[in-house]
Structures are given as structure tokens and as C-alpha cells.
């Protein structure tokens, strides 16, 4: 067996990967991990999660490499699609949605955007206004507007019918609009 790596071209790298040469996989990681990580991070928005997805991506690239067809596209494009799909699967997973809801406010993308613009709900008195709502309405408004839940997610979280969530949210917004005027 030839012990030299033919990695001067993409074809050589692909050939070495098909031969399951771990040195080629190491080189592949060194050359492409930063670019793939950047794409993954833009999707999942959390560094720790992006690192996990990157690791999953390279495991899948290694195990699925026999299915790679260079006639259908370049190696990087194939790897990018695997990484992007795993990142999308991650943010669609229930575990991700639950964990992203329970993060402290300072770790959320929304709070970074809000703080960078200098506008916070407590600066305009919105938090104090919601304190005037009845408890059933307040919890729904807090979940929807301060924690980013959808109405369906609120219904699931509070174990109440979706119609009840919509009615309480509508009544709360009506009440708050009167306070703002």
C-alpha cells in the first residue's frame, strides 16, 4: 500500500477518503471545519450547539462518504449540505426548542440585538404595564413577547387549549393598548 497521500487535488483527497485513510479525514477537517462551523453557527446561533453539530457532521461525512458522487457536485458542496441539514434538524428538534427557551435572557440572540440597539422593554415601561394584567393573561404575554413562544407553544407549555391562549392574548393586548394611549 502506498503510504504517501495524494492530496494535491480534490480528486486525490476523494480517492484517499474512499480508501478510508484517516489522515485524509484529518486534512479534510483542518481545511473545511472553519467554513462549515460558520454556516452551522449562523443557523443554530449558539456556539456550543454549533460545535456539537460540526462534530456530528464530520462523523456523518466519514460514515456516508461511500455515497458521495463527484459527478453530482463538489466535495465541499456535499459536505455543506450535510452540515446545513444537520443544523436545521437540530433547531427543529424538541430538545433544542426546549433548551433555547430556558436560557437566561442575556444568552439569547434577541437580547443581544435589543441591547445593541439600546431599547429594552423596561425602558419604555412595558414590563410595568404587563404587571397590571391578570395573572392568566400576564403569563401568556410574558411567554409570547418576552420569551418568543408561539401561541401553539404557549398552549402546549401551559397545557391549555389554543383558543384560550388566543382569547387571553387578544384581551391582554386590548387592555395594554388602552394603557399606552
Kindly state whether residues 96 and 12 are assigned to the same domain.
Answer: yes
Q: Which set of grid coordinates corresponds to residue 151? A: 401561541
* CATH number reported for the structural domain that contains residue 145 in this entry: 1.10.10.10
* Closest of 132, 127, 133, 142 to residue 171, by C-alpha: 133
Kindly state whether residues 13 and 92 are assigned to the same domain.
Answer: yes
User: Which pLDDT does position 58 carry in this prediction?
Assistant: 95
- Spell out the residues 6+ positions from residue 148 whose beta carbon is closer than 8 angstroms to its own: 101, 108, 110
User: Which pLDDT does position 39 carry in this prediction?
Assistant: 87
Domain count, the chain: 2
Please report whether residue 56 resides in a domain: yes
Please report whether residue 116 resides in a domain: no
- Spell out the residues 6+ positions from residue 60 whose beta carbon is closer than 8 angstroms to its own: 82, 86
Kindly state whether residues 83 and 139 are assigned to the same domain.
Answer: no
46, 78, 100 - which closes a domain: 100
Please report whether residue 58 resides in a domain: yes
User: Which pLDDT does position 125 carry in this prediction?
Assistant: 60
pTM: 0.52
Note down the domain range covering 38: 7-100
Cα–Cα dist 33/167, whole Å: 48
* CATH number reported for the structural domain that contains residue 84 in this entry: 1.10.1740.10
Kindly state whether residues 63 and 146 are assigned to the same domain.
Answer: no
Across the 181 residues of the chain, what is the mean pLDDT of every consecutive 10-residue run?
58 90 90 90 88 95 92 89 90 68 52 43 60 84 74 85 90 81 62
User: Which pLDDT does position 68 carry in this prediction?
Assistant: 93
Please report whether residue 172 resides in a domain: yes
* Closest of 110, 62, 57, 47 to residue 84, by C-alpha: 57
User: Which pLDDT does position 163 carry in this prediction?
Assistant: 92
Burial 117-127, CB ≥16 within 10 A → b, else e:
eeeeeeeeebe
Kindly state whether residues 82 and 139 are assigned to the same domain.
Answer: no
Kindly state whether residues 94 and 21 are assigned to the same domain.
Answer: yes
Amino acid at each position: 500500500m502506498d503510504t504517501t497521500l495524494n492530496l494535491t487535488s480534490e480528486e486525490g483527497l476523494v480517492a484517499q477518503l474512499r480508501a478510508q485513510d484517516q489522515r485524509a479525514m484529518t486534512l479534510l477537517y483542518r481545511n473545511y471545519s472553519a467554513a462549515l462551523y460558520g454556516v452551522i453557527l449562523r443557523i443554530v446561533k449558539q456556539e456550543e450547539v454549533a460545535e456539537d453539530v460540526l462534530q456530528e457532521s464530520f462523523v456523518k461525512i466519514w460514515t456516508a462518504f461511500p455515497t458521495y458522487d463527484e459527478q453530482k457536485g463538489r466535495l465541499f458542496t456535499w459536505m455543506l449540505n450535510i452540515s446545513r441539514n444537520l443544523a436545521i434538524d437540530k433547531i427543529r428538534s424538541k430538545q433544542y426548542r426546549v433548551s433555547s427557551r430556558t436560557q437566561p435572557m442575556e444568552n439569547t440572540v434577541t437580547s443581544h440585538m435589543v441591547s445593541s440597539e439600546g431599547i429594552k422593554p423596561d425602558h419604555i415601561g412595558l414590563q410595568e404595564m404587563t404587571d397590571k394584567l391578570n395573572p392568566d393573561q400576564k403569563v401568556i404575554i410574558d411567554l409570547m413577547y418576552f420569551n418568543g413562544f408561539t401561541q401553539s407553544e404557549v398552549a402546549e407549555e401551559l397545557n391549555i387549549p389554543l383558543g384560550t391562549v388566543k382569547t387571553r392574548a387578544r384581551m391582554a393586548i386590548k387592555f395594554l393598548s388602552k394603557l399606552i394611549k
